[in-house]
Chain A
Amino acid sequence: MNRVILIKYGELTTKKGNRKIFINTLYSNILKKLKDLDVNISKDMSRMYIEYDSTNQEIILKKIGEIFGIHAFSIAYKTETNIDALKEMLNLVLKENLDLEKNYTFKVETKRSDKSFSPNSLECNYIFGEHILKNFPNLKVNVHDYQVLVNVEIRKDYSYIYLNEYTGLGGYPVGTLGHGLLMLSGGIDSPVAGYLAIKRGIKLNLVYFEAIPHTSLEARNKVIELAKKLAIYGGDMKLIVVPFTKLQEEIYKKVPGNYSITIMRRMMYRIMEKLTKRFKALAIINGESVGQVASQTLTSMNVINSVTNIPVIRPVACLDKLEIIEISKKIDTYDISILPYEDCCTIFVPKHPIINPNLNQCLEMEKELDYETLIAEILDNLLVINISSSMENIYEDIL
């Protein structure tokens, strides 16, 4: 087939020294994503080309639209690098992609990566423009206000022509920035935070705090569903289920109601810090948004955050709820998030949680708790579930 998908790299083009790692990571991410789709991928320092079976075009385009590190992509027509072959291919491209009964304005934009190729780019624009004008009477040149941009990329062995470009997701290839641990609750914010962290190239594993029987298996299932959505962008990941019941009950029993959330969050961060070591993560990521709830005031954040030295990244910290919802709808997690199952943070909620907690008071209260033993016990009883975006197929041989 003469069509390939041409991929333009995202922000990574600016990172000179690391470029190779970035491209290789993107390459392997694309390869993983398209593994069952019979594709052949080649790459150089500025482009990737995917040869594919045309019956899979739609699904491949969809999947490429889910990969971070891609600035733009298009369906390009591949031909030999000589003027006559390019002219012939131009005819085909325009016939296949335009309704030639209609009038269009166009512009030709030629790029030569092979600078030894003659004529030069500007001359090529004239040659191809003239060719189009001669053969397609309904197309008129307008280099300022055009409807169709005819891209011609001239390379050493093969050249490519393409019209439309799809916008890629941008961001960095997942994995280029190391590992992070996302605190995934089941609400609207944390999946969005995870998505944004993935966008910046962080490879995620997920942590879910669970307090069975106060929280239900449906709640866990909901988190698994959210995790599957994140895995579409972030690749395979682990969901670490933390059995939080005993510790949470201990807090509920011994800590004054207004401080219970503050102390609970401090305990969660302590556990997170231990988990970052075990799962080799360099950052904790969560869906905290400044001012949204009592534990997310700046005073609360100070008191809570002080239990750990690991960087805590809060991608949605400064987004409005509506902005967060908008992203959650885009990544298809909203409808799952709003299912009404209680999670750890919504059970035992005091009427008036403190918004300006005092660190010394927290430390006093924590003396009453045997939390180190309980945390050790928790860490011995983690449940790890492997999540893959293609998990819908795990029952393929049954359902």
Chain B
Amino acid sequence: MVYLDYSATTPVNPEVLKSFEKVVREYPGNANSLHKLGMKSFHLLDASCKQVASLMGVSKEEVIFTSGASEANNLAIVGTVLKYKNRGKHLLTTKLEHSSILETMVFLKTLGYEIEYINLLPNGKIDLNDLQNKLRDDTLLVSIHHVNSEIGIKQDVNEIGKILKQYPKVIFHVDGTQAVGKIPVSLENIDLYSFSSHKIYGLNGIGALIKKRPIELEPIIHGGKSQTIYRSGTPTHALSASFAKALKLVLEDFDNKYNYVLKLNKRIREFLETMNDIHINSPIDSIPHILNISVKGIKPETILHALAESDIYISTKTACSSDKSLSLSVLELTKNADYARSSIRISLSFLTKEEDIDYFLKVFKEKINELRFMKGE
């Protein structure tokens, strides 16, 4: 099998699974129970939280465990809007966001909030002048991805954060789901930051929202204090421990892993540039883990299934929005509907082997030629 869909989800690191199993077996108590078993689980939860905090460079009071990045994004946006409802009703974001942000914004629009989208430069970065022009007195929240999930565009969230620091009433949320574990993350100028475990070789079902002090949030899941006062529900101490472990492991040997993926990415780019009618959508300074391309005249689903026949797995757009026929991100970046209709995403990992790339490139070329031949080209 050649798995090239790491941005959809990552295989679970066996070490992470081992941690999870151990906790499930040996820490049976509810971390909110006051007896000895509960305390044991509570202390582990606390240590897990502390580990996540220290790896992210924040304090443990600033970590809110959630069920994943979608919930973290929802909590960040809805929680802010509810908490600071007197500050205004104007929200800024981009068209390159994940659906858990775009759809939340659409929902808030029905409640009377005004949503504006910041313009992009041709390289996919947000236009900082446009951002500043769009900021208003009643702007409550700016939500921007760190790394776009379909194309791999990387935003300079630190720079954006510095600009937004001049507007103390504006809360800055960053969706870091595709960034954590892949590129260095600094939360210095960011108020809220979402990320998830199953993108960093951890288990599915847990993520976190980093909420810097002194920002407050209104919970969206009510039920009293649990791991934090911002999210109710029995604390998932086994998942939390496995998440802390996954985060630690993914950050080990970081530079070497990054450079290796960069090398793989270069190989694919160089190869594809020799083929006809293929457009590379990912700008050159996108993160190397994601490579988005459009194959002229062939439906992406067709390519996906053709490759799957040879046990190669890629994706069309993001896994979360595969039922729609056009990639909004690619359209927004390239302004070309043909590209947007025919884009596929290859996503890489330090686990990807050189031979996997050899095999993929060979099969890809064969399949494309075959498909084109059948179409009579």
Measuring CB to CB, which residues of chain A are less than 8 angstroms from any residue of chain B?
A: 212, 217, 221, 224, 383, 395, 397-399
> Do residues A395 and B46 form an inter-chain contact, with CB atoms below 8 A?
no
> Do residues B36 and A383 form an inter-chain contact, with CB atoms below 8 A?
yes
A-B pairs, top 5 by smallest CB distance, nearest first, are A398-B19, A395-B47, A399-B244, A399-B51, A398-B241
> Do residues A398 and B34 form an inter-chain contact, with CB atoms below 8 A?
no
Partner of A212 from the list B23, B34, B43, B46 (CB cut-off 8 Å) is B34
> Do residues B248 and A221 form an inter-chain contact, with CB atoms below 8 A?
no
What are the residues of chain B within 8 A of A397 when measuring CB–CB?
19, 22
> Do residues B39 and A398 form an inter-chain contact, with CB atoms below 8 A?
no
A356–B25 Cα gap in the complex (Å)? 56
- Measured CB to CB, the nearest residue on chain A to B238 is A398
The digit string for B214-244, where 1 denotes a CB below 8 A from any CB of A, is 0000000000000000000000000001001
What are the residues of chain B within 8 A of A395 when measuring CB–CB?
44, 47-48, 241
Known contacts A212-B34, A217-B34; A399/B241 CB under 8 A: yes
What are the residues of chain B within 8 A of A217 when measuring CB–CB?
34, 39, 42
What are the residues of chain B within 8 A of A399 when measuring CB–CB?
19, 47-48, 51, 241, 244-245, 248
Question: Which parts of B327-363 form the interface with A (CB within 8 Å)?
Answer: none
- Measured CB to CB, the nearest residue on chain A to B241 is A398
A212–B19 Cα gap in the complex (Å)? 31
A217–B22 Cα gap in the complex (Å)? 24
Q: Which of A224, A383, A398 has the most CB of B within 10 A?
A: A398
| Number of interface residues, chain B, beta carbon within 8 A | 17
A399–B22 Cα gap in the complex (Å)? 11
- Measured CB to CB, the nearest residue on chain B to A339 is B61
What are the residues of chain A within 8 A of B48 when measuring CB–CB?
395, 399
- Measured CB to CB, the nearest residue on chain A to B32 is A217
What are the residues of chain B within 8 A of A212 when measuring CB–CB?
34
Known contacts A212-B34, A217-B34; A398/B22 CB under 8 A: yes
> Do residues B43 and A221 form an inter-chain contact, with CB atoms below 8 A?
yes
What are the residues of chain B within 8 A of A383 when measuring CB–CB?
36
A383–B39 Cα gap in the complex (Å)? 11
- Closest CB in chain A relative to B32 CB, distance in Å: 8
Does more than half of chain A's interface fall in helix, strand or loop, or is it mixed? Answer: mixed
Question: Which parts of B39-83 form the interface with A (CB within 8 Å)?
Answer: 39, 42-44, 46-48, 51
A104–B42 Cα gap in the complex (Å)? 58
A397–B241 Cα gap in the complex (Å)? 11
Measuring CB to CB, which residues of chain B are less than 8 angstroms from any residue of chain A?
A: 19, 22-23, 34, 36, 39, 42-44, 46-48, 51, 241, 244-245, 248
A399–B244 Cα gap in the complex (Å)? 6
What are the residues of chain A within 8 A of B43 when measuring CB–CB?
221, 224
A395–B245 Cα gap in the complex (Å)? 10
What are the residues of chain A within 8 A of B46 when measuring CB–CB?
221
> Do residues B245 and A398 form an inter-chain contact, with CB atoms below 8 A?
yes
For this complex, 11 residue pairs linking A to B, each with C-beta atoms less than 8 Å apart, are A217-B39, A221-B42, A221-B43, A383-B36, A395-B44, A395-B47, A395-B241, A397-B19, A398-B19, A398-B23, A399-B48
A198–B303 Cα gap in the complex (Å)? 71
What are the residues of chain B within 8 A of A221 when measuring CB–CB?
42-43, 46
A55–B277 Cα gap in the complex (Å)? 58
What are the residues of chain A within 8 A of B241 when measuring CB–CB?
395, 398-399
What are the residues of chain A within 8 A of B47 when measuring CB–CB?
395, 399
A397–B44 Cα gap in the complex (Å)? 12
A398–B25 Cα gap in the complex (Å)? 12
A212–B44 Cα gap in the complex (Å)? 20
A383–B241 Cα gap in the complex (Å)? 25
- Closest CB in chain A relative to B58 CB, distance in Å: 15
- Closest CB in chain A relative to B26 CB, distance in Å: 9
A398–B22 Cα gap in the complex (Å)? 7
What are the residues of chain A within 8 A of B248 when measuring CB–CB?
399
Q: Which of B19, B23, B39 has the most CB of A within 10 A?
A: B39
A399–B237 Cα gap in the complex (Å)? 11
A399–B43 Cα gap in the complex (Å)? 12
- Measured CB to CB, the nearest residue on chain B to A385 is B39
- Measured CB to CB, the nearest residue on chain A to B44 is A395
> Do residues A398 and B36 form an inter-chain contact, with CB atoms below 8 A?
no
- Closest CB in chain B relative to A384 CB, distance in Å: 10
A221–B43 Cα gap in the complex (Å)? 8
A8–B42 Cα gap in the complex (Å)? 44
A398–B48 Cα gap in the complex (Å)? 9
- Measured CB to CB, the nearest residue on chain A to B35 is A383
- Closest CB in chain B relative to A138 CB, distance in Å: 42
A212–B42 Cα gap in the complex (Å)? 15
- Measured CB to CB, the nearest residue on chain B to A213 is B34
A241–B193 Cα gap in the complex (Å)? 37
- Closest CB in chain A relative to B64 CB, distance in Å: 15
A221–B38 Cα gap in the complex (Å)? 13
A398-B23, A399-B48 are known; give 11 further A-B pairs, CB within 8 A: A221-B46, A224-B43, A383-B36, A395-B47, A395-B48, A397-B19, A397-B22, A399-B19, A399-B51, A399-B244, A399-B248
- Measured CB to CB, the nearest residue on chain B to A383 is B36
- Measured CB to CB, the nearest residue on chain B to A335 is B59
A212–B48 Cα gap in the complex (Å)? 24
A398–B245 Cα gap in the complex (Å)? 7
- Closest CB in chain B relative to A63 CB, distance in Å: 22
Q: Which of B23, B42, B43, B46 has the most CB of A within 10 A?
A: B43
A233–B51 Cα gap in the complex (Å)? 24
What are the residues of chain A within 8 A of B39 when measuring CB–CB?
217
A330–B129 Cα gap in the complex (Å)? 48
> Do residues A398 and B42 form an inter-chain contact, with CB atoms below 8 A?
no
A399–B241 Cα gap in the complex (Å)? 6
- Closest CB in chain A relative to B238 CB, distance in Å: 9
- Closest CB in chain A relative to B10 CB, distance in Å: 19
A221–B34 Cα gap in the complex (Å)? 13
A398–B243 Cα gap in the complex (Å)? 11
- Closest CB in chain A relative to B191 CB, distance in Å: 21
- Closest CB in chain B relative to A388 CB, distance in Å: 13
- Closest CB in chain A relative to B211 CB, distance in Å: 17
- Measured CB to CB, the nearest residue on chain B to A394 is B47
